[in-house]
Every structure is written in structure tokens, then in C-alpha cells.
Amino acid sequence: MGIRLKIFTGFMILAIMLLIAGFISIHEFMNIGNYVQKLLDDNYRSIEASGTMVEALEREDSGILLLLMGNWEEGRKILKEGDDLFNKGFSSAENNLTIPGEHKYVERIKQDYNIYKKTWERPIVGTDKEGNFEWYYNKSHQMFLQIKESVKQLMEINQETMYKTGSDLKNRSQRAVMPGIVAIIAAVVFTLLFNYFINFYIAKPIVHLTRGIEEYNNTGEIFKFTSETSDEIGRLTNAIKEMLQSLTYK
Amino acid sequence: MRAHTISRYIGLVLLFNAVFLFISFLVSLFNSDSALYPLLYSFLITFLFGIFPLIFVPKSDFISKEEGFLIVILSWLFVCLFGALPFILWGGEFSITNAWFESVSGYTTTGSSILTDVEVLPKGLLFWRSATHFIGGVGIIVLALVVLPNLGHARFVLLRSELSTLAGTNFKYQTRKVLQILLYVYCGLILTETVLLKISGMNLFDALLHSFGTIATGGFSTKNLSIAYYNSPAIEIIIMIFMILSGIHFGLLFATITGLSFNVFKSTVIRFYVFLMLTGIILVSADLYINNFNSLFESLRYSAFQVISLGTSTGFATTDSANWSGFAHMILIFFTFLCACAGSTSGGIKVERLIIFLKAIKNQVLLLHHPRGVFTIKLDSNTVEDDIVRNALVFIVLYIIIVFLSSVVLAGFGVDSTTALSASAATMGNVGPGFGEVGSMGNYSTIPDAGKWILTANMLLGRLEIYGFISLFVLKTWR
């Protein structure tokens, strides 16, 4: 292989190392962006929806208490608002099923809520339920706790996935940064190695050759130095040697 | 010392490693897993660093003995360094120290791991992790020499520098033939075990990787519970048989397969090796039957696997031996120090040295009674030369001193004494699991970083049989 090709290969290797490292880093950084978006789209929206549903359920529980105390108008108003808020949260969760098995949690919430809703949809004020706190604690409140637990489970599964995605993000960021660090270290080591080879196989023979010619001029003695390579330097050394030999014999 | 020539040979070894990195990359590509880019970039870096010296440095068939030594030692260091790249780039539990630990542990076939959860690793990385066992099993240089083009005299020098000082005894062939034998036996055993494990119910991927771990006497598993995950006596029996075979001199295995007169059945070393194993199994089984298990079958099943696993320096596990009695632990520690035979893929002091040591004691006693007597040590009717005897005795002493010193240093870092001693012995013997926190179901994640670097030095010292590694740092040797 000729000197030009050797030097070109050296620089090409250096360029390839840096280019690939750059490409991988960019690719991983773009992935991080996608992951953040995924984190927001997939999990944060469901967690927010769960929070809305919990808030709605708590309002409805308060509404039932107001009805029990005979405050029909205020109670029905809060229950209506709570129901609207719950449906809004539920609809958001239902349209954002991104985790395997998440649909089962949503389905359970739907079933539990339908049962719960039946307890307060029927009249309370003016019936035997009014002021009946035993009915409230044993039935209505128990159902409230049950559905709240189902919503919390949905929230937890999303939080767990969000934590996992967050941990993945940490790994992704390392995967994005490390190629750059490795490329810098590799490039430094490679440059030193490249410099050593250039010095040993190109610069050093030229120095030896120059000294040999100078010595020939001074003493008329042909140098004994031989090149290890068969590239341009090797051929030049042999050519000069032959030339000096022919000059000597003339 | 010709640094450029040395760099050319190291480049060749790196290129050989790059091939395996590329195969791991293909595995990752096939499974579309997260190790794709880490493996691709590691392959490129290793390939470019490997190819570059070959472009500049002209071929040189002659290398001196010192250069051969340096090539072997530096190749091990560079290969471990480049082998850590996929782990560093992938991240997870792999800090720089942890990646270096895992890489050295893989190449030296120690099988110790810093991972608390192996099963989260993508398949490409799992393959690479086990491939380090495959490459390091018979020696990175030996394996590279098999496939490299004709290197003339250099091939002989490199092979002698890489093989155990005692391994040459049973290799009475030319260098080329020795390499062929190693390759045939090594690959033959791996293929056979893979097929048998597949038939026994393992999937092909796990079967291949566990075969790498068995035949290289490494011990990296694809499961957190190691072989205990499968809870299959058939799988355990297959792995036990192949662990024993991998602990035998490959030259003797080849001789037995090809029907030569001097084979495993006639070797004193093998008889002693089998005798020690059987004694260990019987003693541990009896102890387990009394203290741990009600069934004799269970006692025999678990004791046999653990004794063979540690006695061959493999390190697979079928149960947590941490709750076994002190007596059982002591026997297992003996096997952790001893390991199997020279010329195999196992580490440790090796059976040959123990025989020489015992015979040297016997001769010393005889000398007391007959001061003018001349007593020689014989192994299979061959007289063992004095320098080999001296070498073996110094090796045993050095080995024990290094284990003791590294245990003291580890204890100084706050590691408890059981963990410190067993971790030092297990890494020095390239065994893998020890006791305490680094037990058969544990890992090395709790060892402080500085301790991990000491243990990796132990692994390299054990794999290169101490002298080779030490001589790197004794500059006078190279003048």
C-alpha cells in the first residue's frame, strides 16, 4: 500500500469513528425526545385522568352527604358536576390505553362506577335513606372506596410505567453521551498511534536517508540503512542506494 | 522489543474479536433490541483499531520469546478493554468499573457478575457476554492462531506463551496439529452440548450460551437463578458431564476419541482428578443429607453439581449453597483453589501441581531418612524436571499469597471476611461464585469499585498463571 493511501486510511478511520459516534449520539438524542413525548402522551395523561376521576368521586361522596342531610338542591348540583367531571376523566383514560392490560383496569372502573352511580341516581331526600348514615357507611361509602381503589390502581400502573420509562431515559441519555466520550478517547489514542506509525515508517526513514546521502557526500560511503516497507519510501531508499552505487563504480 | 510488530499481532487479535462483536450485532439486529448501536459502534472501533496496524506494519514471521509474552499479555488487556465497550455504551448497571469487571470476568472465564438482574439484558448483549467466554476459553491467542493465516515461527512462540506451562506435556504434536486438536475438541464439545441441551428442553439461544459457559468453564448464565431456573435433572446431568470433560486436558480427550493408547483412562492425573471429585461429592452429599435435605437423591443432586461446578472452575449453580454447613463450604473452597487439569479451559492451581506438590513432600520425607538418596518425581512414567517442580511449588505459594493479600485488601475496604476470602479465591481460580455476598445466587455488585479492580487483577493473574502477568511489570525482564 502506498504512503498516500496509508495516510488517507488513517484520516478516514478517524473520520469514520467520529462520524459514527456523532450519528449514534444524534439518533439516541432523538430517541430521548420521542421517549419524553411518549412519557407525556402515554402515562402522564392517564395519571391526570385518574386524578380527575378521584376528585370527581370525592365530590360525589360529598354530594351524597348533602342529600343525606336533606340539602337536595346543593347535593344534586354537586353530584351533577362530579358526574360530568368523572365522565371527562374516564373518557380521557379510555382513549389513552397504552399499557398492556390497562383496558382491564378501565373496564373495572366503568363497572364499579355504574353500580356506584345507581346508589345516588335514585331519590334520597324524602326517602328512608335521608339521615340514614348507616346506609351511607355500609353501602354508598364502601362503593365509593372500592371505585376509588380501582382508579388508584390505574394511576399506579401508569406511575410504574412512567418510572420505568424514566429509568430507560437515563440509560438512553448514557447511550447518547457515551459514544461521544468513547469517540474522543479513541480519537486521541488513535492520533497517538497514527503519529507513531507516521514517524516510524515515514519520517524516520526520510531522516535516515537524508543522513545517509549527507554521509555519502562527506565520506563517499554508501549507507547501510534499509526500509522495512515496500512503499514509496522503500522504493526511494533502494533507488538512491542503486544510484549511489552506480556513482561510486563510475 | 519491536513495538510496531507487537501492535500488528494485537491488531490481529482485535480483528478476531471484532468478528464476534459483529455476530453479536447481528443477533441484536435479528431481535431488534437495545444493544444494536452499542454493539455496532464497539465493532467499528475494535475493527478500526485492529485493521490500522495491519495497514502500516509489514508482516514479520519471526518474533522473540519476550515479544511473544508481551503480545499475549497486552492482547488480553486490550481485548478485555475493547470487550467492555458494548457494556459501557449500553449503560444500565454497567458503570466503567462494572463493564471492565464483566469483560475481564468473561474473557478469563471466571463468570463472576456485577449484574443484579441478568434477564433485563437484551439478547445481543447476552450473546456478546457469553461470546467472551467462548473467545477466552481456550485462550484469545490460541483461538486467533487457529484461523489466522500461516504465521510460521511466530505461531509456535505465541502458542507456547499462551498455553499453561504444564499443558505442553500432553501435546506431543506440531503447533499446527495442537491448534487443530484444540479447535476440534472445543467446538465439538460445544456443538454436542448445545444439541443435548436443546433436546432436554432449553431453547436454542440459551442452549448455545450455556454451552459456551460450560465448555469454556466460565459460568455466565442467561438467567438470574443460573441452572436452578430450569429445575431439570436432565439438564443438570448434561452440564455436569460436560463440565467434567472441559476440566480434562484437551490433548487427552482427543487421544481418547481417536483411539490412541495414552488416553484419559491411563492418565494418573485424570484418575486423581476423578478421585478428588468423587470424594468431594460423597463428603458434601453426606453432610447435606445430615444437615440440609431429607432425601439422599436431593443431597447427591445438589452436592454433585456444586462440587463439579467449582471443581472445574465453571461456576454454574443449581441451589444457594450459602446455607450449607461450614464443612461443606470448606470442601467447596478446596475445589475453588484446586480446579481441574492443565491443558483444559479451567483455572486454579490445577491437579498436576497438587500431585507434584504431594510427591515433593513425599520425596522430602524420604530425603530425611536417606540424605544421600536421589529422588525424582514422575507423572505417568515421565520424570518431571526439577525446574518444573520448582515452578509448580513457587506457583502454589505465590497463588496462596496473592489470594491472602487481596482478601486482606478487600477486608480493608469493608468487605466481610467470608466474602473477601471467597471472592479472592473464586476470582483467582477463575471460578466465579464464592460465599457470603458473592455466593452462588449472589453477585459482585456490592463489592466497592476499588475491590472490583483488585478482583479483575486476580482474574488476569489466574488466567495467565501469575508469571506471565507479573513479568509485564518487571521491566528488567525485557532488557
Q: CB–CB of B38 and A194 under 8 A?
A: no
Per-residue DSSP letter, A44: I
The answer to whether the beta carbons of residues B90 and B24 sit under 8 Å apart is no
Which chain A residues are within 8 Å of B35, Cβ to Cβ? none
Domain boundaries, chain A: 17-176
H or E stretch at B220: none
Nearest to A54 by CA among A144, A143, A163: A144
Q: Point out the least confidently predicted range of A50-59, A65-74, A192-201, B299-308.
A: A65-74
Does residue B195 register a pLDDT over 70?
yes
As a whole number, the mean pLDDT across chain B is 89
Contacts of residue A12, defined as CB under 8 A and 6 or more positions apart, other chains included, come to none
Q: Name the residue in chain A with its Cα closest to that of B87.
A: A175
CATH topology of domain A17-176: Four Helix Bundle (Hemerythrin (Met), subunit A) (1.20.120)
Does residue B475 register a pLDDT over 80?
no
Report percent pLDDT > 90 for chain B: 62
Which of B81, B89, B120 has the most A C-beta neighbours within 10 Å, making it the best mutation to test the interface with A? B89
A190 touching B (Cβ < 8 Å): yes
Mean pLDDT for the stretch of residues A118-123 = 78
Does residue A17 register a pLDDT over 70?
yes
pLDDT the model gives residue B345 = 82
pLDDT the model gives residue A43 = 80
Q: Quickly list DSSP for B275-312.
A: HHHHHHHHHHHHHHHHHT-S-HHHHHHHHHHHHHHHHT
pLDDT tens digits for range B369-393? 998 888 888 888 788 888 888 888 9
Contacts of residue B343, defined as CB under 8 A and 6 or more positions apart, other chains included, come to B163, B164, B166, B167, B169, B170, B171, B249, B250, B251, B252
ipTM: 0.78
pLDDT the model gives residue B428 = 94
pLDDT the model gives residue B66 = 79
Does residue B170 register a pLDDT over 90?
no
pLDDT the model gives residue B239 = 97
**CA angle in degrees (0–180, nearest 5) for A62-A64-A69:** 95
Which chain B residues are within 8 Å of A171, Cβ to Cβ? 34, 90-92
Grade residue A169 by pLDDT with cuts at 50, 70 and 90: confident
Catalogue the E-assigned strands of B277-398: 377-379, 382-384
pLDDT the model gives residue B202 = 95
Q: CB–CB of A229 and B92 under 8 A?
A: no
pLDDT the model gives residue B254 = 85
Nearest to B121 by CA among B188, B220, B26, B190: B220
B55 touching A (Cβ < 8 Å): yes
Grade residue A229 by pLDDT with cuts at 50, 70 and 90: confident
pLDDT tens digits for range B102-122? 999 999 999 999 999 999 999
Instruction: Give how far Cα B140 sits from Cα of A112, A115, B59, B95, B457, Å.
Output: 64, 69, 20, 25, 17
Grade residue B155 by pLDDT with cuts at 50, 70 and 90: low
pLDDT the model gives residue A12 = 87
Grade residue A149 by pLDDT with cuts at 50, 70 and 90: very high
pLDDT the model gives residue A30 = 83
pLDDT the model gives residue B173 = 61
Q: Quickly list DSSP for A181-206.
A: HHHHHHHHHHHHHHHHHHIIIIIHHH
As a whole number, the mean pLDDT across chain A is 85
Q: CB–CB of A17 and B58 under 8 A?
A: no
Q: How far apart are CA A50 and CA A148, in angstroms?
A: 9
Nearest CB partner across the interface for A175, out of B38, B45, B49: B38
The answer to whether the beta carbons of residues B75 and B15 sit under 8 Å apart is no
Does residue A39 register a pLDDT over 80?
no
Nearest CB partner across the interface for B52, out of A13, A24, A27: A13
Q: Which residues pair with B384 in a beta bridge?
A: B377
pLDDT the model gives residue B72 = 86
Q: Which residue, chain included where needed, has cell 463439579? A: B308
pLDDT the model gives residue A57 = 93
Grade residue B49 by pLDDT with cuts at 50, 70 and 90: very high
Q: Which residue, chain included where needed, has cell 555519502? A: A216
The answer to whether the beta carbons of residues A46 and A96 sit under 8 Å apart is yes
pLDDT tens digits for range B200-254? 999 999 999 999 999 999 999 999 999 999 999 999 999 999 999 999 988 888 8
Q: How far apart are CA B117 and CA B128, in angstroms?
A: 16
B96 touching A (Cβ < 8 Å): no
Instruction: Give how far Cα B191 sits from Cα of B10, B100, B195, Å.
Output: 29, 29, 6
Report percent pLDDT > 70 for chain B: 91
Nearest to B321 by CA among B297, B337, B339, B305: B305
H or E stretch at B121: none
Q: Which residues pair with B379 in a beta bridge?
A: B382
